[in-house]
Amino acid sequence: MIIKKLVLQNFRSYYGQKVFEFGKGLNLILGANGDGKTTFYDALDFVLTIEDVERKSMPLSSCVSKKMFAELKPGQSAPVMVALMVLDNDNKSRLIERKFTVTKNPDESMSISDHNHGGYITAGGGIRKPVMLKSLLIGEALFPPIIKKYSLFKGEKALNIFEDKTTLKNLIDLFSDIKDLGPYKAYAQFGDECSERAVSVAQKKDKASGEAAATLLRIRGELESRLAQEQARLDDLRRTYSDNQSKIDAIEADLETIELVHSMQDAIKELNDVVALKRSQLDENYSTNLLDKLWILNGFEPVLEEYATKMSKFSENKQTLIRLERERVIRENAKREAETKTIEDLKAELSELPWYIPDVKTMQSMLDKERCLVCGTKATKGSDAYNHIAQHLQEALDHIHKKNLKANTEEVKEEEIFHYRNVEYLHQMSIQLYQYGINLCDISLDIEKEKRRNDALYEEINDKANLIEDKQTEMARILAQSASGHDIGALAGGWVNIKHWYKTKEDASIEIDRLTSVTLPEIRKKIADNIDKYKKSVVDDTAKEFLKINTFYKVFGEALEHAESRTLEEFMDKLASTANKFLEMLNVDDFTGEIRIRRDFRDESIIVYLADRNGKNIDNPNTSLFTTMHLSVLFAISELTKDNLNNEYPMILDAPTSSFDEGKDKTFYQVMNEKLNKQCIIVTKSYLYKNDDDQFEVDMKGIQRLLDIKNIPIYRIQKLEGFDKKDQSTIETTITPLF
């Protein structure tokens, strides 16, 4: 199939109708980033995809030109179309067309109708005969999905087709006779089982040999059962290996970035822990510390000193008052005791007056009886005797009164001047405060020290916070550069899982190697030895004949297995040999090495690698060599397609050389134009450079050198000037044929 023309109408940025016409060889479409290169590729994929076969869906609304839709008035409609004119292998014209109608509703929403995806046989005069799309693409092998899979490639990464584990089977189905061996292998297995049962039945006629044969068959059955179990285990391990390898491959382009982000996440976590620790060490309870740490007394040294002095004086005054009271009590009690003693002395003195001086009671009795009891003389009241007695009585009484002879038996007690111990408490506090006041000058130092400590902690916290912010900014920049399109942040957060993938893959690889190199060969050898013994144990003539038939089927089955393996090896050798021819073409005057293709015993996948002439692997080839290696394999597949299927298919590549330097990519296109006899439509930004005004221009000298070899169609696509960077409805891709 050769693509002759591509017509785009209102497809995304291709506003209106745009037409590309292509030649049979190299075709270039030049465009800078955002000019519509990927949209061109998506348009081809859109029109060539059979939805119900490939189960691939591109929302129709995403295909509509926003500029066209913005210009529609409510109720108006417009077509969206991608049409592909091609020539089949017999040089007959075919048309593949996919179109639909877009209507703007009154509420300015979008409605889509009349979706049609079909094929046509075209003839002169514009006559078109409809044909089923599957009949055209698959039935006529115009462009079947399995071929499209190895013809349309978006970006350099997609060139490595063997990342898809189904590639080998697809290629075998396309180009190898291995697929035809299946029925024969089934027949050989059926014949083997039937003939062996026949041998066993015939052998039972001889009891002795029959028992020996039965024992050998039982042992072989156990061995074959174990072989099947180990083979099933091997298949599980290969799936495990393949699954983990697929996970690793999916992120391989970002692996270093993921590991770096993981280390940055750990570093940020450690910094956050440090910040949390420093924050916990802050002590900013300044208000509380006014009382708890007596910071309120800062500058109160003179006050406390004066307070201590006054409290000391106050305490002394209290003690003086208490002392004076105690002295008074002592004096009063001493006086009382002295007076009591005097009274006692007087009482003793007056208790019995001399005989000539009657006591007070006697004299009072004498007055009462009006008779002198000393001499017995009558003393009538008013008489001289009576008056004499009364006078002596009065003198005695006066004497007693003059001496204060009234006894005071009550002890004078100390009066309680101070009912509470407030003075002592205040004095003690004054002593404590004074003692503390001696160090009050340290309070200001403590306050300053605490403030400096907090300031230092804040400075350290801010430094760590700035460092965290820098790392987060750097990490965000790194995360934005994902080569695989995966969420690197999430993958880095699950770094343990990634390490587990590697560990699981490595463990599976070791076990696969042990099974394939030791366990399975040992079991197969035991089975082979068992079969030899079984053959020797057969003595019955009929059993021997059946044994010959059984031997034939076994040999036949082994031959098929060998043929399958050899055919696969031959196919891979042929694919590698053809790829190496293209590798030499695409790398003029450069080191190329040699492409090698082999099966990976660990998961039965295909490994494509470069080796030198001595068979030594070339580790980490540069990106351009790695890209040309995969391109060479693709061109080889295309070449095998032409040889085996008698058909040829175009290669459609979107930015396949984005990692090439300027000189390398131009040389690459020159070589393709000169040596590659194959239709290749390549969308690229090669041959574009920025002028002094920071605008892209075409390298016309480089284009001319390319055209000196062979004239090729070259188109320049770019955004129409005057668009609004923030409004997609103003963007339109223009097409300019350069040659």
Q: What is the DSSP string of 55-121?
A: -----GGGGB-HHHHHHPPTT-EEEEEEEEEEE-TTS-EEEEEEEEEEEE-TTS-EEEEEEEEEEEE
Element (H, E) at 716: strand 714-719
Tokens of residue 333, six digits: 């009690």
Name the residue among 675, 647, 680 with its Cα closest to residue 87: 647
Average pLDDT over residues 529-541: 82
Q: How confident is the model at residue 436 (pLDDT cuts 50, 70, 90)?
A: low
736 has pLDDT over 70? yes
Q: Which residue has the higher pLDDT, 205 or 690?
A: 690
Is the pLDDT at 704 greater than 80? The verdict is yes
Average pLDDT score over residue span 275-280: 90
Predicted confidence at residue 96, as pLDDT, reads 93
Strand 77-87 to strand 2-11: parallel, antiparallel, or no bridges (unpaired)?
antiparallel
Give the pLDDT confidence score for residue 287 in this predicted structure. Answer: 80
Q: Which residue did the predictor score with more confidence, 622 or 312?
A: 312
Torsion sign (Cα): 618, 621, 626, 632: negative
pLDDT on residue 20? 94
- Provide mean pLDDT across the span 618-645: 77
| Amino acid 115: pLDDT | 92
- Of 168-182, 396-410, 526-540, the range with the lowest mean pLDDT is 396-410
Answer with the residue of higher pLDDT: 553 or 131.
131
In this predicted structure, what is the pLDDT of residue 351?
Answer: 47
Query: What CA–CA distances, in Å, run from 516 to 227, 605, 652?
Result: 11, 15, 41
Per residue in 5-16, is it b (16+ CB within 10 Å) or e — as a string? ebbbbbbbbbbe
Mean pLDDT of 532-542: 80
Q: What is the pLDDT of residue 487?
A: 65
Contact between 117 and 133 under an 8 Å Cβ cutoff? The reply is yes
Asked whether the predicted pLDDT for residue 538 surpasses 50, the reply is yes
How buried is residue 4: exposed, middle or buried, by Cβ count under 10 Å (0-12/13-18/19+)?
Answer: middle
Give me the pLDDT at residue 409, please. Answer: 54
Looking at per-residue confidence, does 244 or 296 come out higher?
Answer: 244
pLDDT at res. 404: 47
Q: What is the pLDDT of residues 389-411, one digit of tens each?
A: 788 777 777 665 554 444 455 66
Rounded CA separation 592/236 (Å): 37
CB < 8 Å & 24+ apart, contacts of 614-623: 618/593, 621/593, 623/156, 623/659, 623/660
**Poorest-pLDDT segment among 212-216, 414-418, 709-713:** 414-418
pLDDT at 353: 46
User: Angle between the 541-586 and 167-175 helix axes, to the nearest 10 degrees?
Assistant: 100
- Cα distance between residue 510 and residue 508, in whole Å: 5
Query: For the chain, what are the domain ranges?
Result: 1-151+652-739, 274-298+440-479, 301-437
What are the pLDDT digits (tens) for 351-375? 444 545 566 677 777 778 888 777 7
In which order are the strands placed within the sheet that holds 733-737?
152-154, 651-654, 680-684, 26-30, 714-719, 733-737
* Beta carbons of 538 and 209 less than 8 angstroms apart: yes
Instruction: Flag the least confident range among 14-23, 251-260, 455-464.
Output: 251-260
pLDDT in tens, 296-351: 767 777 777 787 788 788 888 888 888 888 888 888 888 877 777 766 665 555 44
Which range of 139-148, 302-311, 675-684 scores highest in mean pLDDT? It is 675-684
Output the pLDDT for position 405.
47
Q: What is the pLDDT at residue 566?
A: 80
What does pTM read for this prediction? Answer: 0.60
What pLDDT digit, counting tens, does each position of 100-122 carry? 999 999 999 999 999 999 999 88
Average pLDDT on 282-299 reads 77
Average per-residue pLDDT in the chain?
A: 80
Please give the single-letter amino acid code of residue 604.
E
State residue 72's pLDDT score. 93
- Phi and psi dihedrals of 128, rounded to 5? -125, 125
Check residue 716 and give its pLDDT.
92
Does residue 158 surpass a pLDDT of 90?
Answer: no
Of 495 and 536, which is predicted with more confidence?
A: 536
At residue 167, the pLDDT reads 72
- Mean pLDDT of the 657-665 span: 73
Q: What is the pLDDT of residues 178-199, one digit of tens each?
A: 667 778 788 888 888 888 788 7
Q: Summarize pLDDT for 573-590 with one digit per residue, the tens.
A: 888 888 888 888 777 666
Q: Is 63 exposed, middle or buried (0-12, 13-18, 19+ CB in 10 A)?
A: buried
Architecture of domain 1-151+652-739: 3-Layer(aba) Sandwich (3.40)
So what's the pLDDT on residue 355? 46
